[in-house]
Amino acid sequence: MSKVHVIVAETRGGKLRQVTFEAVQAARRTGGEGDRLAAVLIGAGVGSLAEELAGAGVDAVHVIDSPALELYNPEAYGAALNALLDRLQPDTVFFGHTAIGRDLAPAAATHLQAGQISDVTAIERSGADVLFTRPVYAGKAFEQKKRTGGGPLVVTVRPNNIVPADGAAGAAPVTAEAYDAPPSLRTVIKDVVRKMSGRVDLAEAKIVVSGGRGVKSADGFKPLEELAGVLNAAVGASRGACDAGYCDYALQIGQTGKVVTPEIYIACGISGAIQHLAGMSQSRIIIAINKDAEAPIFKVADYGIVGDLFDVVPLLTAEFRKALA
């Protein structure tokens, strides 16, 4: 019998987040022959994004559009989503492993009495089974999980790991769904203050230039910001740099910070503590710049430069500027 797999889309700054398309691909890999993919878009004034989503290879798009849903609120979004899930009766529900996805997914799992597999980085089939890979022990090992028994499943997908497929030809039908607001909300979101590391979103950046205690001061981040500007990269940091007051905690990468998986991660003056590696060791290419040749970061680096970052980073910036001109 054909099943329905739901993808809960996420937006930021008036755009669909890249992880939404990755979640569509995750749903496609999970589904069997004849299964249907239904995307759910929740927000205010998101009609034009629904059209984009409709061309992303799903079979249906459900839009819950209301001024009351302008800012993410777990109770309001949860109520809107759960009412729709009751109707769709999904086999699997996919979220991005983002701040919102991590908040909303367990609520949906509880509502559906579903199991949950979080932070999935790969999905493959083995006979009739679907295997979900996820990192454990701060990224030192991976486990593969499979669903046992019946019942729905909730999955969160780590950004930048599952390559989205090209959109399908044609567009899926878009259905506007009513939003029945809960009678009262226990929390009201007044405003969202977003701290950005420059122009590029750290979680979805293709390149991250990251600074550690080795940058020595807030001013020490300037050469890194310049390099990031040339490479259209986001700036990140170790907790060492944040604790020292060189930058905002919004930039922190690691076990207690953000997890990033860019194509290129450039670590400048970062020793490579296990808690930092937990947030970046899945990056495709790691470049480390450190004046200590014995620094542990070199054990995970694909390319290592032993030297003073204040000499090396400006040289790299100048060379990349020339090469990219």
252 binds ligand FAD (CB under 6 A): yes
CB of 12 to ligand FAD, least distance (A): 22
Question: 158: helix, coil or strand?
Answer: coil
Among 74, 226, 255, 321, binds ligand FAD (CB under 6 A): 255
CA distance 142 to 139: 7
CB of 255 to ligand FAD, least distance (A): 4
Question: 267: helix, coil or strand?
Answer: strand
232/256 with CB nearer ligand FAD:
256
DSSP label of 197: S
Q: Edge to edge, what strands does the sheet with 207-211 contain?
A: 234-237, 207-211, 264-268, 285-290, 303-306
Question: 222: helix, coil or strand?
Answer: helix
> Scanning residues 300 to 319, which ones bind ligand FAD (CB under 6 A)?
308-310
Supply the DSSP string of 23-80, one letter for each residue: HHHHHHHH--TT-EEEEEEEESS-HHHHHHHHTSS-SEEEEEE-GGGSS--HHHHHHH
CA distance 168 to 164: 11
Q: Which amino acid is at 263?
A: E
CB of 137 to ligand FAD, least distance (A): 14
> Scanning residues 261 to 290, which ones bind ligand FAD (CB under 6 A)?
269-271, 273, 275-276, 279, 289-290
CB of 210 to ligand FAD, least distance (A): 9
Among 101, 139, 236, 254, binds ligand FAD (CB under 6 A): 254
**Number of chain residues interacting with ligand FAD (CB under 6 A):** 27
236 binds ligand FAD (CB under 6 A): no
103 in Cβ contact with 118 (< 8 Å):
no
Of 192, 160, 170, 195, which Cα lies nearest the Cα of 265?
A: 160
20 binds ligand FAD (CB under 6 A): no
96/257 with CB nearer ligand FAD:
257
Among 214, 223, 236, 304, binds ligand FAD (CB under 6 A): 214
> Scanning residues 184 to 213, which ones bind ligand FAD (CB under 6 A)?
212-213
28/239 with CB nearer ligand FAD:
239
Among 256, 284, 302, 314, binds ligand FAD (CB under 6 A): 256
State in Å, rounded, how far the first CA of the chain is from the last one.
55
Scored b (16 or more CB within 10 A) or e, 94-111 reads bbbbbebbeebbbbbbeb
240 binds ligand FAD (CB under 6 A): yes
Residues with Cβ within 8 Å of 247's Cβ and at least 6 positions away in sequence, in order, are 211, 218, 221, 235, 237, 241
The answer to whether the Cα torsion of 36, 37, 42, 46 is positive or negative is: negative
Among 41, 120, 295, 316, binds ligand FAD (CB under 6 A): 295
78/223 with CB nearer ligand FAD:
223
CB of 270 to ligand FAD, least distance (A): 4
135 binds ligand FAD (CB under 6 A): no
51/308 with CB nearer ligand FAD:
308
> Which spans of this chain sit near ligand FAD (rule: CB under 6 A)?
212-214, 238-241, 252, 254-257, 269-271, 273, 275-276, 279, 289-292, 295, 308-310
